[in-house]
Structure 1
Amino acid sequence: MSEVAVETAAPATSGPRWLLRALLTRVDLKTRLSLFIGLLLGVVLLLAVYAVLGNSKRAVQGEIDAVMRLATNLLDDQAIPAEATDQNLLPVLLSVFDHTRHLCVERGPADAAPNPRGCPAAIDDSVPDWFIAQVTTAPRELRIALPAQGGERRPVIVRSDPADEILEAWNEARPLLLLIVAIGFLTNAIVVFSVWRALKPIDLIRDALSGIGRGELHPGLPKATTPELKTIIDGVVELGLNLEQARSDNQRLLRHSLEVQERERRAIARELHDEIGQSLAAMDAEAALLHQKVGSAIPELSVRTQGIRAGIATLYDGLHLLLARLRPAGLDEFGLGPTLESLVADWSGRCPQIRFEVRIEIERIAGESLVQVYLYRIAQEALINATRHARARRISVMLCEDVNRAVHLRISDDGCGLPAALRFNDAAEARRRAKPDGERIGLGLLGMIERAETLGASLAIDSLPGEGTTISLRLPQQDEA
């Protein structure tokens, strides 16, 4: 059985059509409509010019045909009487032709009175060459034999001379051509201006949609000038309202989730402190009592009881660190400022190779207690990232207020910096980058973003490779709790 090869034509990726399609995709609607209207008006303009030139050519042709028919009729051998073949009537007639428009007589070299203006005459210099080329017709001529002395006859040529008619046609066509060009350009300018003005709201709508993508849910929108634009503008407004409602619902759910998380952390911290902490304390007391009673009698048992107590102390230190992560001690009693100082002091003890700098200008943040908890969590996560991943030698923590009583929290280091995918100026930009494509934002940074959004604060990360990282948070003035 023979096989039949079926070849599928691949879509063309080059050629005039592909190039035209690629260019059109880069041209906006206003420019595309303006080009189309300009091209259409250009075609109409060319047709009008062609019509004027055609009329001029027909006028020149008609005049030349008429005068040549007249000359032919006058010089017809049958129309001239026999007695006119002498040297009287025919030379007079040719002399008349010399002074007739659109005709000229070319005599032989023996003629004593050649035509002074040339045959045919030169066309006036004011007439452009392109017009002459368009309206000039094929030359016409009549050849006759003029009687001469001695019974000889010498040839004489009567030629068509369109110079005057071409000049007249140009003087008549020039105002029309200028008027056509002026009307064409004026019409094109008016139409293009009208198109650009009518479609200008589309640019504002596009900017509004871009603003919505950046989180500006109430962008300035133009007034609707047509029913179609009114539908689009109403849709954009409704989209902004729906996104605002969705953002509000999301923030409310996020706030509730974080509140539940903090309550769970507090409950777990309380259980760990009450249950495990007390159990470790009881185990340590039993080991101490056992060592006191039998340790001196049995040296091996004394060593083991000391090891048990050391293990219990290690577990207790780990429990203390875990409790500090779950619920910062002293935050409700002393406020955010002293608690941050305690946090930095704790990290300084664990990381002696890093120099920590602290600048705390406020102790307690106005508002509900969760505000302080969220700010503490953001600073805590920033310090964890700086000490574990940045390879920093210096870390600074600043907490202060500006003249508008807005709270500023800044944690900076001189470490290796972050890649460009993890730098952002606002939470909306950070959320766009937290998508599966590309380099994802980690859970730590995502938690910082969520807490900043819940507080209504602005969070930004400024970093350059090899030049460190700065995490800045600005919290507007809070009402007193």
Structure 2
Amino acid sequence: MSLRVRINLVITLVTVAFTAAMVHVIVNDLRSSVREEIESTTRVAVQLIETVVAGVYLEPGPVQRTEALLALLRRVGRVRSNDIRFYDESGALLYQSPPATYRSGGWAPAWFGRLVRPEVAAARLKLPGGTIVVTPDASRSIFEAWDDLQRFALLALAFLVLVNVAVFWLLHRALRPLPQILDGLSELTRGRFHVRLPAFRPAEFAAISLGFNRMAQALEESLAQNRQLALVAQQSSDALIIRDLAGRITYCNAAAERLLGYAQHELVGSPATLIAPADRHDELRAQLESIERRAPLELLETQRLAKSGRVVDVALSAAPLVDPASDRVIGEICSLRDITGYKRMQAAEHELEQNRRLTALIQSQLEGERRAIARELHDELAQYVTAIKTIGTAIASRAGEAKPDIRDNATTIVSVASHIYDIVHGIIRRLRPSGLDHLGLAETLRDAVSGWSQRHPQVRWELALSGELDGLGEALNITVYRIVQEALTNVVRHAEASSVRISVAREPATGFEDALVVCVRDDGRGFGQAAAQENGRFGVAGMRERVQAFGGSFAISGTAGEGATVRAVLPVTGAERAAPLQTRA
């Protein structure tokens, strides 16, 4: 039964009850009114007859009195609401008042007559020669009362119908938003939280609409957040696992399935020891105890066991899962990241660092050996060659013109010794540029380029130096010099270039705040990019190893017919790592 019908039914029942009460009151009033009317008219009728009779008994004889009384009664006729009869002494009816003409066609139900008819006794007047009986007749009063009651009933019925129609119409207007509200609630139960209600005119329904829309908005936002969280959890590249305080897995995402090789239904409900090596079970228990104390774990390097039996190195982060309603820890949220590749990278970086240190040590040893050999050549062989030149010159001077053969041989010896001396000094310069120890990097490079220019005048040489190049340290100085030396050797041997530009600049470079940028560019025949990356060609391996020993970057590029470029970036702080190796060497 709808709300409107119920309200109408209640109003109808209240109206009917009120009408019944009013009918009861009215019937009582009618009963009293009819009784009072009958009693009063009966008294009037009796008094009237007594007055009439008193005048009649002045007649001399009984017959005359009887005739006079009958004549008077006939003239009086019918008295309202009373029936008058005159009986002689023998009981014979001599007179009866005529029937009432007022409301002669009136009618009232018998039950109503019994309900309002008063119990009034007939009045009897004993006279000489007969008896007058005045009998109350309430029928006409009952008819009137019934008519009044009918009018009231019709009025009450009309009022009842009017009230019900008005209330039904008003309720229909007032409750018009209810179907929309019910439809909105029905949509919410189906999960369609985008539904909104319009602003209704009644204040109460306007408040309901506002509250409904706020609730729907909150549910929609909460659902969107939950969906986003679910998508984040499901699409996360990290394995996410939730376990309860009993140590059983209650959730895992797709990344966890890929990492461990288990399907979701195989993990959910299983103890966490399933995915941990035997020697890590105590760690799992300690981890859960830490979570119960609300102490999170960050990037703990540990191991997990895949379904295949493979032990996976992982970085574990864990946090307590707290019930917001009770603020109790109910489990653990754990993320696992596979760091097998990271471990390999660490091992490779460690190995690379060891290789760099070994390369630096080898370079240091080589430089030490070169220094020693250059010293020996300078101190021993050069001195002997100088002595040979001096002896040859002396022999040639003594032989003079007298001994031309001896003089010529001595001159040849001097010439050969000079040539050997030049070769030895060239070897010494290549083994160890003496200028680095006395003049610094900038002057040594200028001297080296000047030497190349003298030996190869057909090539235009350009040297550009910028920044503070003094005080860089022996290791960095010799590395820069060797790179320039190797690059220029390649140019002379292979490039067939007409111009070469060498630049050494101390400036910030990509990844370094303070670095030496060495660049050697020529306009020779160049080479393909694949050939440039071959470590065995053009001394690339040696140059790259020297640069890597300092943690720098090395690149060689070229295009056939357009020349080549060698570029090395050496961090100035890299010399601090290389210096101890030289000391140990």
Higher CA-based Rg: 2
The normalised TM-score by structure 2 is 0.41
Q: Which has the higher contact order (CA 8 A, sep 6+)?
A: 1
The normalised TM-score by structure 1 is 0.49
Structure number having the greater strand percentage: 2
